[in-house]
């Protein structure tokens, strides 16, 4: 049960990252902010 939850979290964070990248490409006015969000997600994934 717990492992399934972790796997779900990883899948969710991956899809979030994809969405964030798409958003950052569309709104190229704030690419730096989107990149920092991506890095924060990667840090969280690495900690898991």
Please calculate the CA angle 5-43-2 and round it to the nearest 5 degrees: 15
pLDDT number for residue 1: 65
The residues spanned by each domain of the chain are 1-46
Residue 32 is predicted with a pLDDT of 60
Residue 43: C-alpha distances to residues 1, 22, 26, 28 (Å): 24, 20, 24, 23
pLDDT given for residue 44 in this prediction: 77
pTM of the full predicted structure? 0.36
Q: How confident is the model at residue 42, as a pLDDT? A: 75
Q: What is the pLDDT of residue 2?
A: 73
Q: Determine contact, residues 16/38, Cβ cutoff 8 Å.
A: no
Tens digit of each residue's pLDDT (9 = 90 or more) over 1-48: 678 888 888 888 888 888 877 777 666 565 566 567 777 777 777 776
């Amino acid at each position: 049960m717990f492992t399934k939850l972790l796997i779900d979290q990883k899948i969710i964070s991956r899809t979030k990252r994809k969405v964030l990248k798409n958003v950052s490409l569309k709104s190229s006015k704030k690419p730096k902010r989107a990149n920092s969000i991506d890095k924060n997600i990667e840090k969280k994934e690495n900690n898991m």
